[in-house]
Chains A and B, each alone.
Chain A
Amino acid sequence: MTENNNIVFTPERLAKVHEIIERYPEGKQKSALLPVLHIAQEQFAWMSQGVMDYVASLLHIQPVEVYEVASFYTMFHLEPVGKHVIEYCRTGPCVLMGGEEVFGHLQQKLGIKKGETTSDGLFTLKEVECLAACGWGPCFQIREKYYMHLNNQKVDEIIEELSK
């Protein structure tokens, strides 16, 4: 277990975390793990060991119980990421709607491949599986926002907007 004194939730987030922990039946506080990991990623951007140890201490569980969960669920970033993580769908229905071309264009535009981060630290590209928006594809997600019906021009506009 690593000591990391810099990793502390903001007071608002800490209050939210305690509220979440309280909502499960007595003795079942481990249920709060996924919701708390989402809040942790919102604040700390990725799951460093320090962050996971901090979450374990809040839930009174062993650090390994956090590691095994954070590494099982693909939404949690196990490496540092850029300011905007673009998670684009590579699954069949989005491909039928032209996803391969659009996301090929996206990679060209940013000059990076899936799993990479731009040198200015602004964008990380992550390839994900079906986002449950098949009829509105091709689609990607940046944080909580879904971007749908994408084409090359829309991709350019989104990247330019986020680069400002």
Chain B
Amino acid sequence: MSIKILTEHCSTPGIETFEVYRQKGGYVAVEKAVKKMTPEEVVEEVKKSGVRGRGGAGFPMGMKWSFLAKPEGIPRYLVCNADESEPGTFKDHYLMKTIPHLLIEGMIISSYALGANKSFIYVRGELMYVIRILEKAIEEAKAAGFLGKNILGSGYDLELIIQPGGGAYICGEETALLESLEGKRGNPRNKPPFPAVKGLYQSPTVVNNVESIATVSWIINNGGEAYAAVGVGKSTGTKLISASGHINKPGVYEIELGLSCDEFLNSDEYCGGVRTGHRLKAVVAGGSSVPIVPGALFLKNANGEDRLMSYESLSDGGFATGTMLGSGGFIAFDETACIVRNTWNFSRFYEHESCGQCSPCREGTGWMQKVLNRIEHGKGSMSDIDLLVDVSKKIEGNTICPLGDAAAWPVASAIRHFRDEFEWHIQHPLEATKAGAVYMGAVLV
């Protein structure tokens, strides 16, 4: 068994309660941090760990913390991004409902490190039942003296607030999240200024993903260097992977970064292989936004070397032959999956979720969806394929926030790697529109 930093105690009965969590060593890191360490020392350990933002961007968390402005007399805020909405991603959902105190403990230590006295966990509104679980955990932690005024006699005060979202993917973008937290529509802000300087209520703010914050207790207990010793290269530590689609064992798995993609897909410890009796056609490795790749390019890079589950290895080859680790939303497609239909499905998602602020995204996501719709329904023409590529290029890089890129990449990559499938749809409309029809020319693994 490989090292489990986040999920070691997830199968312990009662781990959602303060009592059991405490028995398993919970909140020891809070005691250590607030009693024996300065906030700067906590930041230093997190920096040393090399842990990278687990929401998808992969930016080093310690560095993000060190950017936080600290003007005198102005409050600072920590906001946890629990708006998990990227198709294929359900790890934060799993972690929060299973072991809520891991997040609460991480929030206390992180807030202490950043000098925040009021911190927020912004949870997607659909997960109201998880919000109830987190609120109960907060009450328990407060009753035990780990939250509220003068935590463990240290003089440090912290209030933790759970904020529900309202069903908007865009609020996973950190500045849209802050707008939403201020009671407004989730329109991303122009940057600069970055949240580290002007964030929530125009005060310096750090926004971190659930999984990122959940690593902090382990880092404080074991040291940043111990964390950095796990993983591979600049992909330190472990990562939660949400596995879905055509595999034998869908679920959430904690992997040590650097695990081979082949082992992740085929080992019984993880996905248990492609659905029995089927073969692998394509993979989305890191959530719906990252480029889709043929199965063979997920398992090995363009040079024929084994691909690893790490930020660097998955992106090896750039967008020509690589993809991204993203949020760790792994989706497997077997030979029964239609790439055109799936691309259309994802494009509907992005059209629906565009906030409408930037023209390239607002209009472009709609155009891509319409063109893909007509191809899928046997009414496409060959020029539509290049039209899609053209529209995707005009969105990419031309919007305030990354939703534009997120909408463009799945379309551009599907055409890059599965162009013959799009052509088949256009050239054989009668055949392609039959129920369950799938292009049979794809290379399978």
Interface residues of A (CB under 8 A from B): 23-25, 28, 30-35, 37-38, 59, 61, 65, 68-69, 72-76, 87, 90-93, 95-97, 128-137, 141, 144-146
Contacts and interface: CB of A to CB of B under 8 A. Distances in A.
A96 B244 contact: yes
A129 B352 contact: yes
A38 B118 CA distance: 22
Interface string B98-135: 00000000000000000000100000111111001000
Nearest to A68: B185
A72 B161 contact: no
B332 to A, nearest CB: 8
A20 B231 CA distance: 42
Given A34-B180, A135-B242, A75 B125 contact: yes
Interface in B303-320: none
A63 to B, nearest CB: 14
A24 to B, nearest CB: 8
Contact of A130 (B87, B128, B129, B183): B87
Contacts of A96: 244-246, 331, 333, 337, 342
B199 interface: no
B168 A130 contact: no
A132 B185 contact: no
B386 to A, nearest CB: 24
Contacts of B245: 93, 96-97, 134
Nearest to A33: B183
A91 B345 contact: yes
A97 to B, nearest CB: 7
B163 A93 contact: no
- What class of interface size applies to chain B in its complex with A? 35 or more
Interface in B344-381: 345-346, 348-349, 352-353, 355
A32 B181 CA distance: 8
Contacts of A93: 87-88, 244-245, 331
A79 B180 CA distance: 23
B90 A69 contact: no
A61 B182 CA distance: 13
Contacts of A68: 185
B125 A134 contact: no
Given A30-B183, A136-B250, 8 more contacts: A32-B183, A90-B348, A91-B87, A96-B244, A130-B288, A132-B126, A135-B244, A136-B90
Contacts of B237: none
Contacts of A131: 126
Contacts of A61: 183
A33 B244 CA distance: 34
Interface in B203-262: 242-246, 250-252
23 contacts: A25-B118, A30-B182, A31-B181, A31-B182, A34-B183, A38-B125, A59-B183, A65-B183, A68-B185, A72-B168, A72-B185, A73-B165, A74-B167, A75-B125, A91-B346, A93-B87, A131-B126, A132-B127, A133-B90, A134-B331, A135-B251, A136-B250, A141-B126
A74 B158 CA distance: 32
B169 interface: yes
A144 B133 CA distance: 12
